[in-house]
Structure 1
Amino acid sequence: GCGLCGIDSLEQAMRPLPRVADGSLCLSRTEVSGATEALRPRQALHAKTRATHAAGFLVPGQGIVLVREDVGRHNALDKLIGALMRSGFDSASGVAVMTSRLSVELVQKCAMSGIPGLVALSAPTARAVHLAEEAGVTLVAFARGGGFDIYSHAHRIADEVTNVA
């Protein structure tokens, strides 16, 4: 879920995160800018209800290889991470793509899972940007309409755009 269930203090919610390894992951500008559009046709539940979020796993050169949906964005990412672990895909081989805004908990989940990047349709919170920078997670927001903004660790995106936040 949101990362707050079962904790006794806010300090536990903001626990130190492992730093994501740099590795060799490199996404093209085209892959990043089209990530959320590539996710949409794979959202069967959203097509029926218009009321769910999705989390996908984008692997360079392969596109979106896994998708999970849920009413909650946190749960969609939890489901994706579980599917990723069961599928045999290396979590460092791609990035998570979300249909939501980017919050601290989503960055935490990616860092804990070894996913080096998070791409989303909407905005990040200021705290999510700070945490992504510290954890080594590439954070990309507003990935829609052929554009995107990079908030942290831009080195994983080739043909880097000049509009870096």
Structure 2
Amino acid sequence: MRARRPGPTTRLRVEEHRGDDVRRHEDRVLTEEPLEIRLAWPGAPARRVWTTLRTPGHDFELAAGWVHHEGLGRPSGVAYCTDVELRAEQEFNVVTVTLDAVPPRVPRQLDALSAGSAACGVCGSDEVDEVLARRAAVPWSGPLPSPDLVRRLPGLMRPRQELFDRTGGAHAAGLFTADGSLLAVREDVGRHNAVDKVIGSRLLGGEPAAAAVLVVSGRAGFELVQKAVASGVGALVAVGAPTGLSVRLAGAGGLALYGWTKDERTVRYT
């Protein structure tokens, strides 16, 4: 029996309490399942390089974006794994990314689930230097949005956050031009996955990974700045706050970083 592809939301029954009133009804929550990413290149069998918890949907984009952000190369193909030893429930939770050439570094195989990218948890100069070594070959040299437009960008992305509207549990990432034209939006339970998906959508569509602005619905953590620098975007706009390390990396990587962004306010850190 062929497995069913998991959907982005899960339907269930809930009991809602409002004061003394109790109401039982149907609700939807965001789906969260593991995705194992395998990597293959000429002369090498596919190997597991990462496992992350994600919201099903746009899995190929997530895998392509992750490989790109880790500096492993531009994917030439992405497919669900068809190994006979996979259980039925794993069929749509294992993806193989194929490269045309040997990657510049061979990532170690990881056995544990992660809530972020391989850059999560770094804290020192060596790690910042390692990220900068994987930055885009050509930094962004095009125009950047005005501060007035920066304040409006989260609001321009908001109508496309359909999973958030249905569940209240999804992060979003969106790519925009310097004049505010929307290029792509993706949602996921993990903010890092949302960024991988939106950049992966560009790569698999044959478009450049870089754009003028990357907008994220949460805070500007180090892993999001790392992905922005690796993709060569010009600015990262966050609804929430940055960290000290993310500000440091943005400055070193030439990334314009904005936090606390709302209609009436934004703060530029670089």
Give the TM-score taking structure 1 as reference length.
0.81
Structure 1: which 5+ residue stretches go unaligned?
153-165
User: Residue 139 of structure 1: SS of its match in structure 2?
Assistant: strand
Q: Which residue is 1:124 aligned to? A: 242
Q: Pairwise CA RMSD of aligned residues?
A: 2.3
Q: Which residue is 2:147 aligned to? A: 29
Superposed, 1:86-97 pairs within 5 Å as: 86-97=204-215
Note if 1:3 corresponds to 2:117: yes
Note if 1:115 corresponds to 2:229: no
CA distance 1:57–1:148, change in 2 (3 Å)? same
In the aligned structure 2, how far is the partner of 1:125 from the partner of 1:143? 15
Superposed, 1:11-160 pairs within 5 Å as: 14=128, 15-17=130-132, 18=135, 21-152=139-270
Spell out, residue by residue over 1:9-42, the C-alpha distance to the aligned partner (whole angstroms, 9 max, x if none).
8778542413762412221222211011111111
Structure 2: which 5+ residue stretches go unaligned?
1-51, 53-115
Q: Cα distance, 1:143 vs. partner?
A: 1.1
Normalized per residue, the structure richer in strand is: 2
Q: Cα distance, 1:90 vs. partner?
A: 3.3
Contact 2:144–2:213 under 8 Å retained in 1: no
Spell out, residue by residue over 1:111-158, the C-alpha distance to the aligned partner (whole angstroms, 9 max, x if none).
111112110100000100001000111100111022200001xxxxxx
Normalized per residue, the structure richer in helix is: 1
Give the TM-score taking structure 2 as reference length.
0.51
In the aligned structure 2, how far is the partner of 1:68 from the partner of 1:119? 15
Residue identity (%) = 35
